[in-house]
Amino acid sequence: MHPVRLDHTVTDSHQPPAGSAPPVPGPGRVSAPAPSEEAVRAALAGVIDPELGTDIVELGMVRAISLAEGVVSIEVALTVAACPLRDQLRSDVERQVKALPGVERVEVRTGVMDAGERSALMARARLKAQDRAVATDIPARTRVLAIASGKGGVGKSSVSVNLAVALARRGLVVGLLDADIWGHSVPRLLGMEGSVRAEAGKMLPFELAVGAGLLKVISMGFLSGEDEAIMWRGLMLNRAVQHFLEDVRWGALDYFVIDLPPGTGDVQMGLARMIPRTEVLVVTTPNKAAQAVAGRAADMARKGHIRVAGVIENMAAFTCAHGESYEIFGSGGGQRLADQIGVPLVGAVPLDATLAAGGDAGVPVALDDDGPVAGVFAAMAERVVTEISPVVEMGSCSAHLLERVEEALGPVRT
């Protein structure tokens, strides 16, 4: 039993004085039997935490229930002592339980959760939020890969663009969402310009043929000037990403690559709710400091019940013209992080001037048929397709049937 801070007891306004005997039924009155603990829990399932949108039983906020001669005592654990919803929750608990037959009086005690209880509550809340995922235009069979980093400056966007291009070069249809609303750079990296067109209430992504494959791209950079600052905060950022998921006609996709903003902020948390089937690839540089920060991105993904699929090391060894290799940013950070979080190292991208030059020119290095860096991205795409996150042909499975229903009726909430 966790220690409980008792701060209030709620009772019926007509309760008998302390120490008096329980009420005795008068002539012609039949006393209902006391409810079971299961019945009380079922009643408490009707008490919804207004902030989290889930009942207090599901959230693990009900610590204990005791019943004695028509009196029901309940312990409710709150996330913080000064919870502004304390009185509302207490009132709702009393009302729900008092309605049960056989209940003469309800006593509600409130306490404060410890760190472990709060962590468990948030995990349950995230799982329930995933059940309310938004309806998107992303097909059910599409593998969703979010490219994440613990901080900026590690080349995450370059990795996102070149991996998406390498996947498309395999003859696949790949969606690329620039979810870095503040720091959008995907249009420049791909040499794309122009404004987004709309058709029948849906935005149309920009398209780029890549060999036998196709790249479909959407970015805030198509809606604002490249030099224009986007001064939005959490809610607006999440709404922008949600619009790109709901209001873009993505069509058939094999892979959907999301270039996340750096860090562990609102967009990353919102993604866990909007596309729960997302898988994360974490980008780090070889040095230990970057590895430690990148580990936080992996930790956040897992706390959001999102699978971490692998690690990509960027800015690995530099090889000069005469063949000597230099580990300018250290070595082994990608493998250490992969070992630490128990996932594969998908690949290590060398520090090479052609990567930056290709980005500046709007011609991704992954398009180069003969370059060594293009070979690295091709090898990573091979691992993604065959090992890390292969596209599964679902035939008659339920996900494929869901796609058919969506085609006929529109997006279905699952």
Please work out, in degrees rounded to the nearest 5, the angle formed at the alpha carbon of residue 8 by the alpha carbons of 6 and 13: 145
Tell me the mean pLDDT in the region 76-104. 84
| Per-residue b or e along 59-95, where b marks 16 or more CB atoms closer than 10 Å to that residue's CB | bbbbbebebeebbbebbbbbbeeebeebeebbebbbe
3.30.300.130, 3.40.50.10170, 3.40.30.10, 3.40.47.10: CATH of 37-130: 3.30.300.130
Dump pLDDT digits (tens) for 121-134: 877 776 766 565 56
Separation of alpha carbons 193 and 392, rounded Å? 34
Read off φ and ψ for residue 311, nearest 5 degrees: -120, 140
- pLDDT for residue 50: 56
Which DSSP state fits 289?
H
Please work out, in degrees rounded to the nearest 5, the angle formed at the alpha carbon of residue 409 by the alpha carbons of 406 and 414: 50
Question: Is pLDDT at 66 greater than 70 in this prediction?
Answer: yes
For 349-409, give the DSSP string: EE--HHHHHHHHHT--GGG-SS-HHHHHHHHHHHHIIIIISPPP--TTSHHHHHHHHHHHH
Which residue did the predictor score with more confidence, 91 or 207? 207
- Please give the sequence-ordered ranges of beta strands (E in DSSP) within 270-344, or none if there are none: 279-284, 307-316, 318-319, 325-326
Please work out, in degrees rounded to the nearest 5, the angle formed at the alpha carbon of residue 142 by the alpha carbons of 138 and 147: 90
- pLDDT for residue 139: 84
Question: Is pLDDT at 106 greater than 70 in this prediction?
Answer: yes
Separation of alpha carbons 94 and 110, rounded Å? 12
Going by pLDDT thresholds of 50, 70 and 90, the confidence category of residue 31 is low
| Residue 351 contacts residue 313 (beta carbons within 8 Å) | no
Going by pLDDT thresholds of 50, 70 and 90, the confidence category of residue 394 is very low
Question: Is pLDDT at 42 greater than 60 in this prediction?
Answer: yes
Separation of alpha carbons 142 and 6, rounded Å? 51
CA distances from 250 to 66, 197, 285, 400 (A): 55, 13, 32, 17
Per cent of the chain over pLDDT 70 is 76
| Residue 365 contacts residue 358 (beta carbons within 8 Å) | yes
- pLDDT for residue 129: 60
DSSP β-bridge partners for residue 203: 198, 248
Which residue did the predictor score with more confidence, 188 or 269? 188
- pLDDT for residue 389: 87
Question: Is pLDDT at 18 greater than 60 in this prediction?
Answer: no
Dump pLDDT digits (tens) for 208-260: 999 999 999 998 877 765 555 444 444 566 677 777 888 889 999 999 999 98
CATH topology of domain 135-391: Rossmann fold (3.40.50)
Domain spans in the chain, listed from the N-terminal domain onward = 37-130, 135-391
Tell me the mean pLDDT in the region 320-346. 84
Which residue did the predictor score with more confidence, 46 or 135? 46
Dump pLDDT digits (tens) for 248-304: 899 999 999 999 887 655 666 677 667 767 889 999 999 887 777 888 878 877 776
Angle formed by the axes of helices 372-383 and 156-168, nearest 10°: 70
- Please give the sequence-ordered ranges of beta strands (E in DSSP) within 202-262, or none if there are none: 202-204, 206-210, 213-219, 255-259
Going by pLDDT thresholds of 50, 70 and 90, the confidence category of residue 374 is very high
41-55, 163-177, 329-343, range with the lowest pLDDT: 41-55
* Interacting residues of 159 by C-beta distance below 8 A, sequence separation 6+: 147, 283, 312, 314, 349
Tell me the mean pLDDT in the region 68-96. 85
> Does the fold of domain 135-391 match that of domain 37-130?
no
Question: Is pLDDT at 9 greater than 80 in this prediction?
Answer: no
Question: Is pLDDT at 41 greater than 80 in this prediction?
Answer: yes
Return mean pLDDT, the chain. Answer: 78
- pLDDT for residue 217: 94
| Per-residue b or e along 202-222, where b marks 16 or more CB atoms closer than 10 Å to that residue's CB | ebbbbebebeebbbbbbbbbb
HSE-CB for 245 with a 13 A CA cutoff = 27
**Nearest Cα to 259, choosing from 178, 167, 337?**
178
Tell me the mean pLDDT in the region 68-95. 85
